[in-house]
Amino acid sequence: MTETLRIEPGQLTLSDLRRIYYSAIPIEMSENAWKQVARSRSTVESVIERGGTAYGINTGFGRLAQTRIDDEQLGELQTNLVLSHATGVGDLLDDDTVRLILLLKINALGRGYSGVSRQVLDLLIAMYNRGLYPAVPAKGSVGASGDLAPLAHLSLPLIGRGQIRADGGLMDSVTALEKAGLRPIDLAAKDGLGLLNGTQVSTALALKGLFQGERNLDAAFVAGSITVEAALGSRVPFDETINAIRGHRGQIEAARIYRSLLGPSEIGRSHTNCDRVQDPYSMRCQPQVMGACLDQMTNAAACLETEANAVSDNPLVLSDRGEILSGGNFHAEPVAMASDNLALAIAEIGALSERRTALLIDSSLSQLPPFLVDDAGLNSGFMVAQVTAAALASENKSLAHPASVDSLPTSANQEDHVSMATYAARRLTEMNENTRYILAVELLAAAQGIDLRRPMRSNDAIERAFRTIRNTVPKWEQDRYFQPDLEAVSKLIGDGAFGEWISGYLGTNA
């Protein structure tokens, strides 16, 4: 029987979010949440009945907030808002990301501070559970007032507009809803604004970047460990005391992971009395660099878990006070900064990996055949694979430039400072892909190095990782078409084939 995740709005954990991103788990809302939604809705209706004025409920939007809207036009106002704000462009967001956006929007509205009618949440939950994912273009949000354009596209199917992706194909929303036994709704006062205001798109994209980054960091621990073994590196830099006395939690955890991977081995014992005093930094300083990356990811995870449970629309309905107040929770600066910090970590994971690959192919450093291939000269081996890694590492340097320091005013200077959180989070996908390929190059090179140390054996952990690679890609005996090997190992990384070294750590330390 398929497990159902019962949502108590505001209490989603990082583990919940990770599970939803990777698999379509059915959801339902708690009864307590429905009660709070009803109280919030009742407050909105009371304000309208007594002739009060509230932004976006019976006024225009942005610089048009001073324009009062007649009661009989309030539904039309919300519909017009969705239609006019659906201005996104570019490629469509993938289904996994849209599923996460739907969850975050349901979670936020379910907290009962948005004043939307129950029919909105009923349809959002039904679409989520039936795998009906709105077609959401990736570009067009500056991250304040929330993710207006992409959330408008997310909302279009609720009013029978736009497209839905279902069963792998695109179809018009009315047809898709009808096939699923659903139908569009007529928006009531506040419904459209509650749907469009919020940081759910930028937060979902940042969570995607975090989850992909986790798997890259998992693979980096394994790749770096195999490289230490293949290049006859020292295990001393991973010593518990060395790393503990500096005090950084990420470094301490990283060193622990390396020690678990770099247990005693025949290869390790073969160079016990060698004359090498110290290894290059790309091997020796792995706990310090990867630990710093882990700290950045931990901090970002805490921020994003908080934002995933946040109420980030405007205005907010405070039922216990009978008030509707305007604020600025839609400003996605926390998400932008968290995404910028994730970008630093993702870039550095790749940068250090590329340096280790460069070390492996340099026979003067690794004591392995030049470019990791027999009969070098006739064969080029890993020469240009390292060039690809260098190119991708360089691209990531440019992509890592902070987006949160940028701002362009919008809406006739009413929205005069914006976060750029959506771009900050969206570029993490490209950066993670680059780093995944960089790590694939290193994993292939390091496995080749282990092959070239035969008949000596490594320890069980390294040999298991080695077999994971060799079960997919054979040893490099002579030059062959390289790119399929990169794709195969990149897929292994993306699928989490190299262990879950940090997801539990982030879940408990975020």
> Model confidence over 310-330: pLDDT tens digits?
999 999 999 999 899 989 999
> For residue 236, what are the contacts with CB-CB under 8 A and spacing of at least 6?
242
- Out of 175-184, 209-218, 373-382, which region has the weakest mean confidence (pLDDT)? 373-382
| Structure confidence by residue, pLDDT tens digits, 216-237 | 999 999 999 999 999 999 999 9
Annotation says 21 is catalytic: no
Model confidence at 510: pLDDT above 80: no
- Reported as half-sphere exposure (CB side, CA atoms, 13 A), residue 120 has a value of 30
How many percent of the chain have pLDDT more than 70? 98
Q: Is 164 helix (H, G, I), strand (E, B) or coil?
A: strand
* Sequential DSSP letters for 184-229: -----TTHHHHHHSSSHHHHHHHHHHHHHHHHHHHHHHHHHHHHHH
Break the chain down into helix, strand, coil percent, rounded to 5.
60, 5, 35
Give the pLDDT of residue 507. Answer: 64
Give the pLDDT of residue 501. Answer: 81
The better pLDDT of the pair 61, 234 is held by 234
- pLDDT, average across residues 453-479: 97
Model confidence at 506: pLDDT above 80: no
Please give the model's pTM, rounded to 2 decimal places. Answer: 0.96
What is the Cα–Cα distance from 248 to 241, expressed in whole angstroms? 12
* Annotated active-site residue in 21, 22, 55, 505: 55
What confidence category does residue 346 fall into, taking pLDDT thresholds of 50, 70 and 90?
Answer: very high
The better pLDDT of the pair 409, 41 is held by 41
What confidence category does residue 1 fall into, taking pLDDT thresholds of 50, 70 and 90?
Answer: low
Q: Do the Cβ atoms of 225 and 462 come closer than 8 Å?
A: yes
Model confidence at 213: pLDDT above 60: yes
Give the pLDDT of residue 276. Answer: 83
Give the pLDDT of residue 412. Answer: 66
* Sequential DSSP letters for 439-483: HHHHHHHHHHHHHHTTTS---HHHHHHHHHHHTTS----S----H
- Out of 141-155, 276-290, 406-420, which region has the weakest mean confidence (pLDDT)? 406-420
- Out of 140-144, 159-163, 182-186, 296-300, which region has the weakest mean confidence (pLDDT)? 140-144
The better pLDDT of the pair 410, 382 is held by 382
- pLDDT, average across residues 203-220: 97
Give the pLDDT of residue 51. Answer: 85
What is the Cα–Cα distance from 492 to 355, expressed in whole angstroms? 21
